[in-house]
Structure 1
Amino acid sequence: MLKLNDNNGIFLQEQEYYTKEDLINLYRLQKTLLIEENTVASILDCANIWQRYSSDLCASWLFFPDNDDDILRQIRSSGFFTNFEDYAK
């Protein structure tokens, strides 16, 4: 169990800092993968998926859509998308 620091963020990986808002969005992605894809993903898997999607569009980290139903649709829209397992690596 980890606790957010005084700036409402945390380092999940050695050099990867996530804010509380980032974490909430990653949990949204995690929930959507479970519901729509019957896939259990860790928060780090979700971070990797979103980072890969953002990088595919030449962005460092894209904002998450407001609607949960749009999250997977946006990721799949990348011309480089193969599957969520590959994106989680």
Structure 2
Amino acid sequence: MLSAAIFSAFLAGSAAAETCIAPQPPFVPGDPEAAREYSDIIRNDFELYIRDIEQYFRCLDDERARAFQEAREVSAAYGRFLEMIAP
């Protein structure tokens, strides 16, 4: 019974973890003529990248905070476990 409760708590904590995926940097052609021809598309790609990298940084900050909280909770649970099995 206790192992089932621990397993459930583990799954609940793991499910809360967020996957942060970094955006791909925009492609800029080496050919100046091609860069000029596609400048609107390339400019838009840069703007999207800047928006997405800001979201990525926020995601990393949120995940870091979540992981620290989880680590505190696991550390406290470990302390309770050690007290429980102490002779």
- TM-score under structure 1 length normalisation: 0.27
Which structure carries more relative contact order (alpha carbon 8 Å, separation 6+)? 2
Higher helix share: 2
TM-score by length of 2: 0.27
Larger radius of gyration: 2
